[in-house]
Amino acid sequence: MQVDNYIPVTQAKTKFLDMIRDIEDDTTIAITKNGVPRAIVISMEQYESIRETMSILADEATMKQIRSSTNEINDKQELVDFEDII
């Protein structure tokens, strides 16, 4: 995730409402304290996407299937069209 803007915590306190109003789906803002990033502000859509990705990565069965499919593609095995299955 790329940070689009860094803002000191002292400015963030006074600009927080504007930051929330202006946040875009793909915008990431780092809040800094003494020049060091300490927190991130992201859109709800971006947060939900990250949570969904984490959920998939935590699901062993799903990850096993993804790895198996990736190996099949890398080995240039013939793929089955979804419509042929149903």
Taking the C-alpha atoms of residue 27 and residue 45, their distance in angstroms, rounded to an integer, is: 10
- Bridge partners (DSSP) of residue 39 are 31
Tokens 């998939």 correspond to 56
Q: Tell me the C-alpha to C-alpha distance, in Å, between residue 45 and each of 19, 29, 52.
A: 15, 14, 11
Query: Which tokens sit at 4?
Result: 């689009």
Taking the C-alpha atoms of residue 52 and residue 58, their distance in angstroms, rounded to an integer, is: 10
> For residue 84, what is the DSSP state?
H
Please report, in tens digits, the pLDDT of each residue of the chain (86 residues total): 789 999 999 999 999 999 998 898 888 999 999 999 999 999 999 999 999 999 999 999 999 999 998 998 888 877 777 787 77
